[in-house]
Amino acid sequence: MTREERYTAILEHFRRQAPVVTTELEFASAFQLLVATLLSAQCTDKRINQITPALFRRYPTPQAMAEAGVDDVFEYIRTVSYPNAKAQHLVEMARMLVSDFHGEVPSTTEELTRLPGVGRKTANVLQAVWFGKPTMAVDTHVYRVSHRLGLVPPKADTPLKVEQELLRHIPQDDVNRAHHWLLLHGRYVCQSRTPKCDECPFSSFCPKRMKGSKLE
């Protein structure tokens, strides 16, 4: 099976099975999505959804969080991964939103990645989910699934290279959904340590299952 045929088969499956799909993070504004996405690094969406309601009640806007102390924010997020660094980033990010962007979340990669704690992946999530732009956020799930299913070559050995390779092959109308399709497939089926190959709709042509495969 060629790479193009893989894309066709996989995308057709997801279009049928999940025509409407979005992030599992819970939010009510661009600012809340930005906060939740920043917090979700190296942490599960389930955990983030457990702690953000109280955080958002206390700090519903950039202006409110900009006036907070780092220690105060830390108390709300202490159960997530790297809470000290994330609390620092959240307060600094909110202050920059107020000082540089009039309290509004910007919509471009260049502006978003100026914000403390915001990398390309987080910027792409904001652009895709909130602003509806055809951007591809590559997290650990998307990276792993893309390699395991043979959607990208081994030389695509960084998140940026995987992003660029996926964007070359996925139709623009599917890009936003494709991020979630691949992410959720990695989260629930093609898991890192114990992939559920018997439940995978792509097992018949997955390179990982070929004899002598060195894919992990």
Q: pLDDT digit string (tens) for 110-161?
A: 999 999 999 999 999 999 999 999 999 999 999 999 999 999 999 999 999 9
Query: Catalytic: 86?
Result: no
Q: Which pTM was predicted?
A: 0.89
Contact 28, 129 (CB under 8 A): no
Residue with tokens 């990276």: 143
- 30-130 classified as CATH 1.10.340.30: yes
Q: What pLDDT was estimated at residue 207?
A: 85
- Pick the catalytic residue from 46, 86, 121, 173: 121
Q: Which residue did the predictor score with more confidence, 214 or 69? A: 69
Residues of the chain with CATH 1.10.340.30: 30-130
- At residue 213 the predicted structure's pLDDT band, cuts being 50, 70 and 90, is very low
- CATH 1.10.1670.10 in the chain, residues? 3-21+136-209
Q: How many residues does the chain have?
A: 216
| CA-closest candidate to residue 63, choices 27, 23, 105, 25 | 105
The residues, any chain, with a CB within 8 Å of residue 107's CB and separated by 6 or more, are 126, 127, 131, 133
Q: Which amino acid is at 102?
A: H
pLDDT computed for residue 135 by the predictor: 95
For 18-65, write each residue's pLDDT tens digit: 999 999 999 999 999 999 999 998 889 999 999 999 999 999 999 999
Does the annotation count 121 as an active-site position? yes
Dihedral over alpha carbons 207, 211, 214, 216 (to 10 degrees):
60
Options 139, 174, 198, 208, the catalytic residue:
139
Tell me if the domain spanning 3-21+136-209 has CATH number 1.10.1670.10.
yes
Residue 168 burial (10 A CB sphere; 0-12, 13-18, 19+):
exposed
- For the stretch 97-114, pLDDT in tens is 999 999 999 999 999 999
